[in-house]
């Protein structure tokens, strides 16, 4: 009897999704859907928070007051994105603390891209251009996903990311038109970030274990490869406009398909970084762990103070 109910509920759930309706927190949903969403939303939230570190690395060295202010504002926006996303995840009956502990224990993942170091100021421009650019392609899709709270969080995030991307590209364009050293910095940053940025969309669909189910339930609407191609098609003309070379000798335009073909991605590198062996995995987690440890007494004090005030009322 219960199994039969479940089948009916699942049919109804899937037909709502097919009709383009949003699923809201109190609606029935299959356990797998809930689990997949928690995994995705929390990974996304963790990525925003860990993503504060590589860019935060340059706040104190930004070369002008205007750049310092806009970088700090950008990193602050990322903290804000982390907050909406943790809140979106909390609608699925899991709390922020639990998710943070999963991040710190290494059980939960975050985007592999933030395990690369920021080595010169141009990295700040290139991250805005590539990493935020890639995130926008992905999040524009997620803003249409079937889960209401996640869809709305992405809608808001996309607006801000667009601004970040423009800001990043403007840094790149300014430096690319600048001194010889500045051009070298940009080219160096582009060489280091291009391939990892392409990896951000995840493995090819035939090797992505979660893809089929996520597509069926409209958590995702496009495959990883489709999104990656869209990003490449958008970015190549932008690189030409600032006269910067993307580090791929196989990059060429296919008139028939109207897409840019690109070379082979080194998936071994990707999996290696995902497994924890990237250049900065240890540093990133150690920084999050330190902030969490150093902040423990502050959080305890805040709770104790609230309790005392409640008791005195």
Partner 1 sequence: MKNGPDHRTKNVLVEFLFRLGDDRLILGHRLSEWCGHAPILEEDIALANIALDLLGQASALLRLAGEIEGKNRAEDDLAYFREATQFTNLQLVEQPNGDFAFTIARLFFFSAFNNLLSERLQKSSIEALAGIAAKGFKESSYHLRHSKEWMLRLGNGTEESHQRMQIAVNELWRFTGEMLAFDEVEEKLQQQNVIPDLNPIAPKWNEIVAAVLTEATIIIPSHQKDGGQAGNHAVSGSRNGFHSEHLGHLLAEMQILARSYPDAKW
Query: What is the binding site for partner 1 (CB under 8 A)?
Result: 49, 52-53, 56, 59-69, 72-73, 75-76, 79-80, 82-83, 86, 121, 171, 174-175, 178-179, 181-182, 287, 290-291, 294-302, 304-305, 308
Cα-Cα-Cα-Cα torsion 277, 188, 202, 223, nearest 10 degrees, comes to 180
CB-wise, 69 or 241, nearer to partner 1? 69
Q: Judged by CB, which is closer to partner 1: 74, or 220?
A: 74
Tell the smallest beta-carbon distance from residue 184 to partner 1 (Å): 11
Q: Which CB atom, from 7 or from 177, has the smaller least distance to partner 1?
A: 177
Q: Provide the token pair at 163.
A: 């601004």
Nearer to partner 1, 241 or 304 (CB): 304
Residue 208 near residue 224 (C-beta atoms within 8 A): yes
Closest of 136, 134, 127 to residue 167, by C-alpha: 127
Closer to partner 1 at the Cβ: 256 or 313?
313
CB of 68 to partner 1, least distance (A): 6
Residue number with CB closer to partner 1 (121 or 130)? 121
Say if CB 140 and CB 158 are below 8 A apart: yes
Among all chains, which residue has been given the structure tokens 């990493």?
Answer: 131
Cβ of residue 5: shortest distance to partner 1, in angstroms?
40
Q: Closer CB to partner 1, residue 29 or residue 75?
A: 75
H helices of 58-179, where?
65-90, 96-105, 122-126, 132-142, 148-176
Least distance between partner 1 and beta carbon 181 (Å): 6
Least Å from the CB of residue 62 to partner 1: 7
116, burial (CB in 10 Å: exposed 0-12, middle 13-18, buried 19+): buried
Q: What string of DSSP letters covers 263-280?
A: ----HHHHHHIIIIISTT
Alpha-carbon distance 117 to 128, whole Å?
Answer: 14
Find the shortest distance in angstroms from Cβ 49 to partner 1: 7
Which two three-digit tokens encode residue 141? 């899709």
CA distances (Å), origin 47, targets 79, 83, 112: 10, 12, 8
- Rounded to the nearest whole angstrom, what is the least distance from the CB of residue 7 to partner 1 in the complex? 41
Best CA proximity match to 218, nearest among 33, 10, 27: 33
């Amino acid at each position: 009897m219960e199994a039969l109910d479940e089948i009916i509920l699942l049919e109804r759930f899937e037909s709502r999704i097919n009709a383009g309706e949003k699923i809201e927190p109190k609606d029935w949903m299959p356990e797998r859907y809930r689990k997949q969403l928690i995994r995705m939303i929390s990974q996304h939230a963790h990525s925003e928070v860990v993503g504060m570190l590589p860019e935060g690395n340059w706040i104190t060295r930004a070369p002008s007051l205007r750049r310092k202010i806009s970088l700090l504002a950008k990193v602050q926006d990322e903290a804000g994105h982390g907050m909406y996303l943790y809140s979106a995840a909390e609608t699925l009956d899991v709390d922020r603390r639990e998710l943070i502990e999963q991040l710190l224990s290494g059980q939960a993942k975050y985007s592999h891209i933030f395990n690369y170091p920021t080595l010169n100021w141009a990295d700040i421009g290139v991250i805005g251009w590539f990493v935020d650019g890639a995130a926008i392609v992905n999040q524009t899709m997620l803003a249409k996903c079937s889960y209401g709270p996640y869809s709305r969080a992405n809608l808001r995030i996309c607006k801000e990311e667009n601004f970040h991307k423009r800001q990043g590209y403007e840094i790149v364009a300014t430096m690319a038109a600048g001194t010889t050293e500045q051009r070298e910095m940009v080219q160096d940053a582009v060489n280091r970030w291009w391939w990892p940025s392409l990896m951000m969309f995840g493995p090819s669909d035939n090797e992505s274990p979660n893809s089929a189910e996520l597509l069926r339930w409209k958590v995702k609407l496009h495959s990883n490869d489709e999104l990656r191609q869209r990003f490449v098609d958008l970015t190549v003309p932008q690189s030409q406009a600032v006269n910067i070379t993307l580090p791929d000798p196989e990059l060429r335009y296919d008139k028939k398909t109207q897409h840019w073909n690109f070379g082979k991605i080194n998936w071994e590198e990707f999996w290696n970084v995902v497994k924890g062996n990237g250049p900065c995995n240890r540093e990133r987690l150690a920084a999050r762990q330190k902030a969490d440890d150093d902040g423990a007494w502050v959080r305890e004090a805040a709770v104790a103070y609230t309790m005392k005030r409640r008791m005195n009322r």
